[in-house]
């Protein structure tokens, strides 16, 4: 099943990316739409899994998680899903991705200090299905462009498809 995504949908997405706490009334006023239209459009974007929630951007270092690393993980091919589930269950793992290549799992691990980070990495490395790991320590995070700003530029510059594939993998 496919449904169209138009200019109004794009503008609503841009407003929500700029501020996920913005009121429906504010979006409606800015886009010269009715509040019920904005509500219906947001519900449509959610049902298409284009809009999956409203989140806050958190500075982990300011919350005391100043030691961070990305870990590339190689596991036996038949255990990738199991390893991902184990990683997702850990409090010190904040992001997990399945990727291509020899190290098909990428995880972001955080800890209050280097000792805690080393313990977390050792604990992950001891999992029976992990064959090898490569660790990339994060020294600075302040120089990155905010994802939301990049996404807004992408939405403004790139024509969106006229139909959205709603089939799930």
pTM over 0.85: no
Model confidence band, residue 54 (pLDDT cutoffs 50, 70, 90): confident
pLDDT band at 103 (very low <50, low <70, confident <90, very high): very high
The model's confidence at residue 33, banded by pLDDT at 50, 70 and 90, is very high
Band of residue 100 on the pLDDT scale cut at 50, 70, 90: very high
For residue 2, what pLDDT band results from cuts at 50, 70 and 90? very low
* Neighbour-count burial of 92, counting CB atoms closer than 10 A to its CB (0-12 exposed, 13-18 middle, 19+ buried): buried
57 pLDDT band, cuts 50/70/90, is confident
What residues contact 66, with CB distance under 8 A and at least 6 apart? Answer: 60, 112, 113
- Across the range 94-114, mean pLDDT stands at 94
pLDDT, position 156: 73
Residue 143 — very low, low, confident or very high, per pLDDT cuts 50/70/90?
very low
Residue whose pair of structure tokens reads 């992001």 in the numeric block: 95
pLDDT reading at 142 higher than 80: no
Q: Which domains does the chain have, with CATH numbers?
A: 2-56 (1.10.10.10), 61-138 (3.30.70.920)
């Amino acid at each position: 099943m496919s449904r169209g995504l138009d200019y109004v949908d794009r503008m609503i997405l841009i407003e929500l990316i700029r501020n996920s706490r913005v009121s429906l009334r504010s979006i409606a006023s800015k886009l010269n739409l009715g509040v019920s239209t904005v509500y219906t459009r947001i519900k449509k974007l959610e049902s298409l899994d284009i809009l999956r929630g409203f989140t806050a951007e958190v500075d982990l270092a300011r919350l005391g998680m100043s030691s961070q690393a990305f870990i590339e993980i190689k596991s036996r091919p038949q255990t990738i899903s199991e390893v991902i589930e184990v990683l997702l269950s850990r409090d010190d793992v904040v992001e997990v991705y399945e990727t291509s290549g020899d190290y098909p799992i990428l995880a972001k691990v955080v800890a209050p200090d280097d000792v805690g980070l080393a313990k977390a990495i050792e604990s992950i490395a001891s999992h029976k299905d992990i064959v090898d790991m490569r660790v990339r320590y994060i020294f600075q995070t302040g120089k990155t462009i905010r994802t939301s700003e990049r996404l807004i530029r992408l939405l403004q510059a790139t024509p969106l498809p006229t139909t959205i594939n709603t089939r799930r993998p």
